[in-house]
Amino acid sequence: GNDSRSAQAVLKAMTAESPGWMHDTWRWPRALVLLLAVVVMICPAVSQMMSAESSRLLIEDMYRHAWTSYVEHAFPADELQPVACIPRLHRTRGAMDSIIANVSLTAVDALDSLLIFGYEDDFRRVVQHIIANVTFDKDLEVSTFEMNIRVLG
């Protein structure tokens, strides 16, 4: 409908410039803004096509995939390296890894979601693991922000 005509008009305006428009650094911001406008126009139409039930099922499936992948490949590590699909056990990127504290951070962070999604058995196992194995009594430099939002939040 109107959204597709508007998107076509935006794309036409982007490409109406000289053939070398992509190489002109002054035109890149304009092109990116126009591209963002196209995405914003299209996304609401796409999201309206999904019913609330299909959205709920998709979210549940995505959570199941994320949680079971973490449990299978990384538990009890703080993080799962998504591409390698292995746990991140050591700091490998200097200050970028200030979150690695070996406190089962992803499992701690997931506790509320486990209950919300109905994973009561996994919730009990994680709580038992935390009681038996996790201590925050460590002399480490960690990201205060990450610890606050993932442990306290």
The vertex-40 CA angle with 34 and 41, nearest 5°, equals 90
The pLDDT score that the predictor gives to residue 21 is: 45
Beta carbons within 8 Å of 104's beta carbon, 6+ residues apart? 75, 76, 77, 78, 126, 129, 130, 133, 134
What are the residue ranges in the chain where pLDDT is below 50?
A: 14, 17-18, 21-27
DSSP symbols for 76-88: TSSEEETTTTEEE
The pLDDT score that the predictor gives to residue 7 is: 54
Distances from the Cα of 125 to the Cα of 19, 71, 122, angstroms? 61, 11, 5
The domain ranges of the chain are: 2-49, 52-152
What is the value of pTM for the model shown? Answer: 0.62
The pLDDT score that the predictor gives to residue 29 is: 56
The pLDDT score that the predictor gives to residue 44 is: 66
